[in-house]
Amino acid sequence: MNKNPIHSTPSTEPSDLAKRIRNLLIIIAAIILSLSVFLGIRSEATSTSLPQLVEESIPLDTALNNGKPTLMEFYANWCTSCQTMAPELSEIKHKYSEQLNFVMLNVDNSKWLPELLKYRVDGIPHFVYLNQKAETIAQTIGEIPRPILEANLEALIAENPLPYTQASGQVSAFNSPLNIDNPSSSDPRSHGAQVQ
């Protein structure tokens, strides 16, 4: 054997210790990834879904007659914006449930056709703010950021003007089952209406 270090060739294969360390790191990474996926699925499963939010909502008749202000939401199960807002709306609902009614009306249910027409719902989510006397105060359409929604609700509870009545966000298109061809001249959305 040649024991001269100048003439010896370095080994290109990793040592057994290096292989073991690499394999240990791969196992640790796999465990961490598995736990992350498991916890991610669990946290998603525990967040409130749209059907749960609907199940917890107050019936419209009760809300209109119990003397509390109301936040009414027009939604659909297929509405991605409605689904996105459901967890935060659930938290808001629990925060304000003693002071406010939360009503959910499915636009795909023909039972709500009179309300769809009354509030001229053409995009969802569509929020209607009603005071203690069940009078319409304001409407907002689309995904509304939580701070804006909470500011509006706090103003509604305090019977103050809502600060964000022109708020609008991403919506899911909704085609109303009826077309109104001849808008009333007193309709504020009619661009041909004359101010008297």
Instruction: Read off the pLDDT band of 196 (50, 70, 90).
Output: very low
- Enumerate the active-site residues: 79, 82
Rg of the chain's alpha carbons, rounded to an integer? 29
Q: What residues contact residue 33 under an 8 Å CB cut-off, 6+ apart?
A: none
Phi and psi at residue 70, to the nearest 5° = -135, 140
Instruction: Tell me how far CA of residue 177 lies from CA of 140, 172, 180, 189, in angstroms.
Output: 21, 16, 10, 19
79-105 per-position pLDDT tens digit: 999 999 999 999 999 999 999 999 999
pLDDT of 106 strictly over 90: yes
160-168: long-range contacts (C-beta < 8 A, 24 or more apart)? Answer: 162/129, 162/137, 162/138, 164/140, 165/138, 165/139, 165/140, 166/140, 167/140, 167/142, 168/140, 168/141, 168/142
Q: What is the pLDDT of residue 173?
A: 57
pLDDT of 183 strictly over 80: no
Comparison of pLDDT for 14 and 22, the residue scoring more: 22
Beta pairing, strands 70-75 & 126-130: antiparallel
What is the pLDDT averaged over residues 15-36? Answer: 87
Give dist(CA 131, CA 71) in Å, integer.
9
Peptide bond into 125 cis (omega under 30): yes
pTM of the model: 0.63
The neighbouring-strand residues paired with 136 are 130
Give the domain 50-158 fold.
Glutaredoxin (3.40.30)
Domain ranges, ordered by start, for the chain: 50-158
